[in-house]
Amino acid sequence: MTELSKHYEPQNVEDKWYAHWEKAGYFHSEPDDRPSYSVVIPPPNVTGVLHMGHMLNNTIQDILVRRARQEGKNACWVPGTDHASIATEAKVVKWLRDEKALTKGEIGREKFMEYAYQWTDKYGGVILQQLKKLGASCDWDRTAFTLDEDRSAHVIQAFVDLYRKGKLYRDYRMVNWDPEARTVLSNEEVIYSEEASQLYHIRYQISGSSEHLTIATTRPETILADTGIAVHPEDERYAHLKGKRAIVPLVNREVPIIFDDYVDPEFGTGALKITPAHDSNDYALGKKYDLEVISMLDEQARVTEEAGLLVGQDRFEARKNIRELLEEAEALAKVEDYVNKVGRSERTQSVVEPRLSLQWYVDMQQLAAPALEAVMSDEVDFYPKSQKNLYRHWMENIKDWCISRQLWWGHRIPAYYYKEETFVAANAEEALALAREHFGDEQIDLEDLKQEEDVLDTWFSSWLWPISVFNGFEDKKELDYYYPTSALVTGWDIIFLWVARMVMAGYEWQGERPFDKVYFTGMVRDKQGRKMSKSLGNSPDALKMIDEYGADAVRFGMLSCSPAGGDLLFDMKLVEQGRNFCNKMWNALKLLQMWEATEEKPSDTQALAEQWMQHRLNALSDRLPGMMEQFRLSEAIMQLYNFIWNDFCSWYLEMIKPEEGHQISNQTYEATRRMYAQIMVLLHPFLPFVTEEIWSHLTEGKSDCTQQRLPEVGEIDSHLLEDMEQARLMVSKVREIRNDKGISGKEPLELLLHGESHRLWEGSFRALLMRMGGLGALGYADKRPDQSVSFVSGTDTFYVPIGEFLDIGAEVEKLKKDLDYAQGFLRSVEKKLSNERFVANAPEAVVEKERVKQRDGAERVQKIQAALDALQGGESK
């Protein structure tokens, strides 16, 4: 037998096993007659790298999938990546600029796409390799990409289908514009947060008067595009200005003063400037009062000719510069510090600019109805349930979805324009046919059609993911088998961006939910509760952590702090704990490997211990499914942890451990290896590598842990389990006395029961108690022996003679404390029982329980009192 290393060394183990599993094809799934258990991965960005959030949700998915395999299901976990159009395009643009000194405009669409594919081939998909490091048991043969051929075809088909159903339209509206990526964003892609800024008070002269009116704004540069002033109709300060006009400073434009109750008279000066082109509320007001719309910012948010001033400057530069101009013109009343909400692009972080433009939208009203119903009725089951509220709120107030993006990296919208008409079809040829038919003109050519330049929002492909990864529109066989998927594991932060939309797509195209259950993980935060992010630098390097501690340790760390739905505070200590746990199991293995077996029969202690361990293990196997079912994964892993560390290692192994230099009974030896292997199977979904490694040593490489089915849950003898609890308690009590008095474990002690019989005093428990307590004798006594300490366990009094180690004063103190507690307890029970209404109203079983408590409590008090009397009486003689 090979010598095992002092410590468990994951570095030597993990890659070996992953390669083995993959080579054996254990993670590949094909439809068959078993029930399926399918999971689709939330596709990470193709250019992403593994971070804490991925590790958490992929560990959870892996546990579910591995557990499903153990249950005999045909588990299929589909991996893949998302083309992440904005994020990736931004990276490619930067790369082209930095490395090749090229811009999008210079190279054009086709060339850009070539570079983008080049770039994603080179840097993309790294994250999938990193998932293997974590142990993710994905079916890699099924790896999908939202921009690959099959998925793209599906996206186009979905678009065409929606268009034909009349659920798509184009409209000219105020949108969220990202001036850095130069594209529109959906509402969900804008993140609002409070930021420090300034409130500028600007004086506008009233036309034909020397009077001034002061407005307050956070965006002074946009006054160049002002086309109105608004005040509240009942604001007395401004009542006299009805019908007057104001002059915009610097540009000297005369604009109307309007009266609308949209204005809050309490805020600022109670007067508001109106810039219809650059603010969505102002746009609405402008429409209402038919104001002119002057656009003064281009797609990069630079000031245009229309403004007449500061032309070419960036909006922030212009803001800085306009201050001086306003001061010179004596139009700046004051500037005060102010905190307001600023919306930023989720991907580029640049401040979102409201902008008017023509975009494609999905009409969400009809799509939302069945999707809302599905979640509210738990047909799609949310964990934790509280997320249902959030979902409902959003679905009931749903806005149409802006799906066009002014980007190139993505699915180009299959809309073709000819003259004033729009033709939507899967390809140009079909569009051409439609156009010819519409115009009744066979002379129209492909070249006459102009395809939409915009691509689709990334989420327009992601929402099809649970369908498209099973090639849902080609051949229904896969889809029929795997759909609906079993569980989705994701963060609650993308409940609108992704989860809700998948539910809608599921009902729209499959008429059925996309998944049975959704498990929302929390956000990974650092110990101070801050969200982990690159910019804060508080996110540990995931791969480095795996290298250093092992994937199992990291998985343990992630899991043991992850309440469902709640945020989790990540602490390296937990990863250390995971590493220590692996090491503990490794050392238990080493102990087993050291033993030599003989033909001898097991000792009484060994036989009893083995029986107890098996029942204890059965009880654990029995508890686990319920926890798994409810996604109580951290509870499950803690139960396994405690079971292995305490029950198996600290108690069981110590019970059966042969004396130094002795051999162990073959029967005990084999049973122990078998049970330890069973435990490895239970733990395997959580910590796949270390369990596989230990399994291979226990079974001498004859099979793989990852292929094992869950053991059948055997008989659970609760009397046996209770008796052992009693025995453990007594052993601990004896050890406590040793600790307390400084008596070595080698010094044999006597444990005497006050009375004549005790079920643990005879039979197999006798030997076990003596061995575990380091006892020289186990006997009976009818009174307190000289120089002994006593304790009451249950309703029995026990004595342990300790000779000169006895300290009467300390002993009296201790017993008095026990007595106090026992009396207090008894009083509380008696109080309850003396309450007539309790006895009359509570169920009989509850009352009976209280009576038993009272009897035991009284007996206990009496025994402790007797022990105390004996001690004081005995020594005073």
Residue list 333-372, contact with RNA (CB under 7 A)? 340-341
Interface pick for RNA out of 141, 654, 786, 848 (rule CB under 7 A): 654
Please state the closest distance from residue 583 (CB atom) to RNA, in A. 4
Q: Tell me the helices (H) and strands (E) count for the chain, helix number first.
A: 28, 31
Q: Kindly tell me which of 101 and 845 has the beta carbon lying closer to RNA.
A: 845
Instruction: Specify the residue for token string 């540009």.
Output: 251
Binding string, residues 497-536; x marks residues near RNA by CB under 7 A: --------------------------------x-------
Binding string, residues 157-196; x marks residues near RNA by CB under 7 A: ------------------------------x----x----
CA 425/CA 437 separation, integer angstroms: 13
Q: Kindly tell me which of 195 and 474 has the beta carbon lying closer to RNA.
A: 195
Number of residues that bind RNA (CB under 7 A): 96
How far, CA to CA in Å, does 62 sit from each of 132, 489, 688, 832? 11, 10, 9, 50
Q: Which residues contact 280 (CB under 8 A, 6 or more apart)?
A: 174, 354
Asked if 583 interacts with RNA (CB under 7 A), we say yes
Q: Which stretch binds RNA (CB under 7 A): 43-51, 304-312, 583-591, 612-620?
A: 583-591
For 574, which DSSP code?
Answer: H
CA 412/CA 415 separation, integer angstroms: 9
Interface pick for RNA out of 223, 310, 675, 731 (rule CB under 7 A): 731
Q: Kindly tell me which of 113 and 351 has the beta carbon lying closer to RNA.
A: 351
Interface pick for RNA out of 268, 276, 410, 466 (rule CB under 7 A): 268
Please state the closest distance from residue 173 (CB atom) to RNA, in A. 13
Interface pick for RNA out of 12, 824, 848, 855 (rule CB under 7 A): 824
Phi, psi of 14 (to 5 degrees): -65, -50
Question: 328: burial class by Cβ within 10 Å (0-12, 13-18, 19+)?
Answer: exposed
Please name the residue ranges forming H helices in 715-763.
Answer: 718-741
How far, CA to CA in Å, does 169 sit from each of 163, 282, 359, 399? 8, 24, 8, 14
Please state the closest distance from residue 825 (CB atom) to RNA, in A. 3
Q: Kindly tell me which of 152 and 176 has the beta carbon lying closer to RNA.
A: 176
Asked if 478 interacts with RNA (CB under 7 A), we say no
Asked if 216 interacts with RNA (CB under 7 A), we say yes
Asked if 594 interacts with RNA (CB under 7 A), we say yes
Residue list 109-168, contact with RNA (CB under 7 A)? none
Asked if 732 interacts with RNA (CB under 7 A), we say yes
Q: Kindly tell me which of 440 and 529 has the beta carbon lying closer to RNA.
A: 529
Please state the closest distance from residue 503 (CB atom) to RNA, in A. 17
Please state the closest distance from residue 626 (CB atom) to RNA, in A. 7
DSSP per residue over 785-796, as a string? PTTEEEEEETTE
473: which 2 tokens?
A: 């529109």
Asked if 657 interacts with RNA (CB under 7 A), we say yes
Q: Which stretch binds RNA (CB under 7 A): 270-278, 426-434, 500-508, 693-701?
A: 270-278
Q: Which stretch binds RNA (CB under 7 A): 373-381, 483-491, 635-643, 670-678?
A: 635-643
Asked if 854 interacts with RNA (CB under 7 A), we say no
Length of the chain: 877
DSSP per residue over 428-451, as a string? HHHHHHHHHHHHT-TT--GGG-EE
Asked if 8 interacts with RNA (CB under 7 A), we say yes
The distance from CA 291 to its chain's CA centroid, rounded to whole angstroms, is 49
DSSP per residue over 325-388, as a string? HHHHTT-EEEEEEEEEEEEEETTT-PBPEEEEEEEEEE--HHHHHHHHHHHHTTSSEEESTTHH
Interface pick for RNA out of 22, 161, 363, 567 (rule CB under 7 A): 567
Which helix (H) or strand (E) element contains residue 627?
helix 604-629
Asked if 815 interacts with RNA (CB under 7 A), we say no
Asked if 233 interacts with RNA (CB under 7 A), we say no
Asked if 262 interacts with RNA (CB under 7 A), we say yes
Interface pick for RNA out of 233, 794, 796, 807 (rule CB under 7 A): 794
Asked if 645 interacts with RNA (CB under 7 A), we say yes
Asked if 311 interacts with RNA (CB under 7 A), we say no
Phi, psi of 273 (to 5 degrees): -85, 150
Interface pick for RNA out of 825, 830, 874, 875 (rule CB under 7 A): 825
Pairing of strands 597-598, 568-569: unpaired
CA 337/CA 331 separation, integer angstroms: 18
Residue list 737-766, contact with RNA (CB under 7 A)? 738-740, 742, 745
CA nearest 145: which of 166, 121, 173, 174? Answer: 121
CA 373/CA 99 separation, integer angstroms: 51
Asked if 267 interacts with RNA (CB under 7 A), we say yes
**SS3 for 848?**
helix
Asked if 660 interacts with RNA (CB under 7 A), we say yes
Please state the closest distance from residue 760 (CB atom) to RNA, in A. 16
Interface pick for RNA out of 129, 365, 598, 835 (rule CB under 7 A): 835
Residue list 386-445, contact with RNA (CB under 7 A)? 386, 389-390, 393-394, 397
* Sequence letter at residue 338: Y
